[in-house]
Amino acid sequence: MQIEDYFDFFGNGDIRIRGHRIGIEDVLYEYICNDRTPEELAIRFPTLNLEQIYAAILYYLRNKESISRYMDEWAEHGNRMRELQNRNPSPAIMKLRRIAAGQKSGPERFFGTGSQ
C-alpha cells in the first residue's frame, strides 16, 4: 500500500482522509499547532484509526514543503471567509450579537416583555 492510498485528492486541491470528510489539514492542524499526540488525535477524530492518523503525519513529513503551502492556503482561506462573514453577518448572527449586547429585538423592543 502506498501512503497516497490513505487519501482522496480532489481537483480543487482538497485532500481528505479516504472514506471520510475529514481533511488532512484538520488532523495536521491539531498535530502541528496544538501539539496533539496521535493518541489524542484518535480521541479528537473518533472515526479515524491510528493508522490513518499516522499516515497523515507521515504524508506531511514526506511532503513538508507542499503540505506547508497547502496549510497556509487553507488558513488564509479561513481568514478570508471569517472576514467576509464579519462584514456580512446573517440575520441570525445579528440577532445573537444584539442579545449578547443586551439589546432587545422584535416586538419586545417596542412593547416590552409584558411584565412590569
How does pLDDT run across 50-103, given as a tens digit for each residue?
Answer: 999 999 999 999 999 999 999 999 999 989 999 998 888 889 888 888 888 886
Q: What is the pLDDT of residue 106?
A: 59
Under 8 Å between Cβ of 57 and 28: yes
> Per-domain residue ranges for the chain?
1-72
CATH of domain 1-72: 1.10.10.10
DSSP secondary structure, the chain, as one string: --GGGGEEE-TTS-EEETTSS-BHHHHHHHHHTS---HHHHHHHSTTS-HHHHHHHHHHHHHTHHHHHHHHHHHHHHHHHHHHHHHHS--HHHHHHHHHHTT---TTHHHH--S--
- Does the pTM exceed 0.85? no
- Grid cell 511532503 is found at 63
Q: Is the pLDDT of residue 105 over 70?
A: no
